[in-house]
Amino acid sequence: MTQPRRNWIPLVAFCAVLVTGGVEAWAETVYVQAKTAQLRLGKTSLDAVVGNVKYGDALEVVGRDGSWVEVKTATGAKGWIFSNKTSSTKPSGTNDALARLGQSMRGGDASATTASAGARGLDKASEGYADRTGVSARDREAVDRMTAYQIADQEVEEFLREGGLGEYAK
């Protein structure tokens, strides 16, 4: 005796859901862990840039090949990104490590803005500490000069490319 055809209906419906978009429920998401990163047309640092993403952006994984991840942005742009610029965990808060450190050292009382400002130079609390511990004016000026120095993203990118580092490693 054969089974009635209606027993196949749930199986066919399930397959239809998978084919028509149900697969998206299992899509992998990664998050940008670099201040900025570039999506490229191909899987090398020499391929054309097709878009830029920033810290914390969610990206849907389309594929993987070695150290490269093919992704799609929330706006639908597709491209390849070097895997070390992404993480499977969503970042929380600011990407300013010094601000986070400042907050933890102050017991969480300071806002990210205050902690970041303190990290860039001697704020009033830091000046008080420097006064109490005898930090010289020369050393204070050196800290201010170091924290004021900034490196442009393009300079970092060129350094990595010339040194064959990160996504430019061969």
Query: Is 83 found in the same domain as 51?
Result: yes
Query: Is 68 found in the same domain as 128?
Result: no
Is 81 among the domain residues? yes
Q: Other C-beta atoms within 10 Å of 167: how many?
A: 21
**What pLDDT is attached to residue 109?**
42
Query: Is residue 142 very low, low, confident or very high in pLDDT (cuts 50, 70, 90)?
Result: confident
Mean pLDDT of the chain: 75
Is 76 among the domain residues? yes
Is the model's pLDDT at 107 over the cut of 50? no
**What pLDDT is attached to residue 112?**
41
Helix intervals (H) in the chain: 9-20, 97-105, 112-120, 124-133, 137-148, 153-163
Is 10 among the domain residues? no
Asked if residue 40 lies in contact with residue 9, where contact means CB atoms within 8 angstroms, the answer is: no
Which domain-ending residue is among 55, 77, 92? 92
Query: Is residue 119 very low, low, confident or very high in pLDDT (cuts 50, 70, 90)?
Result: very low
Query: Is 109 found in the same domain as 71?
Result: no
Tell me the two tokens of residue 131: 């006064």
Is pTM beyond 0.85 here? no
Query: Is 109 found in the same domain as 51?
Result: no
Segment among 4-8, 16-20, 59-63, 122-126 with least mean pLDDT: 16-20
pLDDT tens, position by position, 69-102: 999 999 999 999 999 899 999 887 655 554 455 4
Which domain does 160 fall in, by range?
97-165
Number of domains present in the structure of the chain: 2
Is 11 among the domain residues? no
